[in-house]
Chain A
Amino acid sequence: MSQKKSSRKRGRSQSSPHAPSTTADAVDELDERESSQSGMPSVATKTWLSIWVCFHLSALFVSFTSVVEPSSLQARLSQLVHPYLRAGHFAADDRPVYLAHGSESERPHRLQVTSDELTDPDAVESVDWQTVGTGGYEAREITPGLSVSDRAARWLSTAATLAENDQPGVVAELLLPIARHFVDAKAIRIVRFPTDLDDVNAVAESPYVARIVRANDVVSLIRLTPRRLSSQAVATPNVGSNGGSNDGLNGGGQTP
């Protein structure tokens, strides 16, 4: 092997103005010549591609692993690589890389409107709700699990998560076109249905309920928030009808 190398060196140095001074230089020179002769990439091309590959795979790993509670360091790294990843739609962002964790956001969501007046958040289940179509305003036959229903599911899941994170203004922005389309609707809600993973007594929840207010072609959504538990005394209008609540005070308030 070394004889071949040295004979190659002797042969090539007769035509080359600069004889390689070390074994490594000889190897590099041989690489360059083979590359140009055989259509293989040059050393410079290989170097730049290698650097890019290392960066690209590292960026992917940081992005894909930061979907579950990233550390502050990982979050900072993600921010650094996001311009590159987002431009090419390579970023995982908040998508469920883990497939499923059994969280509330993975439960089925539906959007519903009602033409009944609704001012009391506790009366949500007593009105007649109509489910809005999936991927369209009107209800139509959609095969679940295909892309149309998946898009609607992701949209509603995002809206429900935003509602639970106290961002009603953002949710309203997402739902306003629906509220505008259904001109007779007086309230709108996102309903979340339980699955077999939930307690047998679990019922459908409404992470977002809002009154639709229309005035001069302007449509607004006013969120109806459930009453919170409070230790503050609440005066009741008729003590006797409470069947023994002795002094007219109801401690504890209502449950949401």
Chain B
Amino acid sequence: MNRAPKQLSVAGGWDRFWFSPASVARSAIIRSVLSIATAFYFLGAWSDAAFWYTDGGPLSAARVATFLRTSGLEDAATWIVSPLFLAKSAWLYKLYLAVGIFVALVAAIGRGGRIAPWLLWLLLVGWANRAMILSDLTETLLSLGLFASAIAPPGGLPVVWLQLDRARSHWLAGFSQRLIAAQVTVVLIATFITMLGGRVWFNGLGAYALAAPAQDRTIDWTASALVNATLHEGITHLMVLAVPCGLLLAWTAKTHRVGQAILVLWCIATALLGSLWLYGLSLATMVMAIDPCVDVRAEIRVRGQLPREHPDGSPSD
């Protein structure tokens, strides 16, 4: 029985979205920025690693085991795997961080082939799983971003700067960018939905709530113009609207740069108000992977021809 034309085009659309080749250089830039963010993350964990995790510390392996047993969370923690649960001394933790920073820098400059990006992801997951209750959304975003960007073929900043291999395209680069874009879209949709679960994002206090714990913020906005009701209410409403509008515009071919700009501004506002520096940087980087257009030139380079059922899409830059 022949497949109906509509089914063929849906399957074709899915194939084209996920498996079209894309520029390796672009995915390399995204991976480089995420790797640099991860290097900063490991650097930030250096000074208090010995306090938290070594023998006798508040989150030593023995104390974590007792904590999980006492709170009845042993089953929940079954899949939280990390080699650092076997480490007891401070120098091992510092060595782990040093290796993490080194691998992050190697991955950022595009060296290390396929091994460096995957190793970096594993190192991050190992540290974040060990951190447990100390970890927050930054680790989750970095893990999602590094995992997706490790799928792309190797390449890095020096290659891009020297204008070599700009024409190199691969379907894995396309798949990697689409995965990053899809993940960040899911995260932002979930952020929007869960924001609406709190009254502060309706009554205009959301932006102020983010800045309110001033003792825990790098910048004290509560002593600034943010106390003005019109200003913080306006920022709150804009922050709520920016997420769905930005996503809609970013996934539309003609307005995708505008949508990306809105989402990046949202990330900057969140980072400034809530001192969520690495969270904002990771999210903004992943937003740059959103691109509704298929790279027609990349398709021709790889396939030697346009694929069947090619839509009238505008080429990406």
Residues of A within 8 A of B (CB): 22-24, 27, 30, 34, 38-41, 46, 49-50, 53, 57, 60-61, 64-65, 67-69, 82-84, 86-92, 95-103, 106-108, 135-137, 143-151, 153-155, 158, 162, 167, 169-170, 173-178, 180, 193, 195-197
Contacts and interface: CB of A to CB of B under 8 A. Distances in A.
Contacts of A50: 14, 18
Contacts of B96: none
A167 B71 contact: yes
B67 A170 contact: yes
A148 B205 contact: no
Given A50-B18, A87-B79, A153-B216, A178 B58 contact: yes
B44 A170 contact: no
Contacts of A99: 191, 195, 206, 210, 270, 274, 276
Contacts of B41: 147
Given A41-B19, A57-B183, A143-B218, A88 B143 contact: yes
B196 to A, nearest CB: 8
Given A100-B206, A146-B44, A151-B134, 11 more contacts: A27-B308, A30-B308, A49-B19, A50-B14, A87-B79, A88-B143, A89-B124, A99-B274, A101-B209, A147-B45, A148-B48
A153 to B, nearest CB: 5
Nearest to B15: A46
Given A46-B19, A177-B63, A23 B219 contact: no
Given A106-B209, A147-B41, A155-B58, A135 B198 contact: no
A240 to B, nearest CB: 46
A69 B197 CA distance: 9
24 contacts: A24-B3, A24-B8, A27-B8, A39-B302, A46-B18, A49-B18, A50-B14, A64-B191, A67-B194, A87-B79, A89-B125, A95-B140, A97-B187, A97-B194, A99-B191, A100-B200, A100-B206, A100-B212, A100-B274, A106-B209, A106-B212, A135-B47, A145-B219, A147-B44
A109 B102 CA distance: 34
Contacts of B170: 39
Interface string B48-77: 100110001111100100110011000010
A227 B226 CA distance: 40
Among B175, B186, B278, chain A packs the most CB atoms within 10 A around the CB of: B186
A38 B303 CA distance: 5
Interface residues of B, number: 90
A174 B140 CA distance: 24
B293 interface: no
Contacts of A170: 67, 70-71
A55 to B, nearest CB: 12
Interface string B112-155: 00000000000011001101011111011001100100000000
Interface in B166-198: 170-171, 175, 179, 182-183, 186-187, 189-191, 193-195, 197-198
A174 B67 contact: yes
A82 B79 CA distance: 8
Among A40, A89, A177, chain B packs the most CB atoms within 10 A around the CB of: A89
A202 to B, nearest CB: 12
A152 to B, nearest CB: 8
A40 B303 contact: yes
A145 B57 contact: no
B187 A60 contact: yes
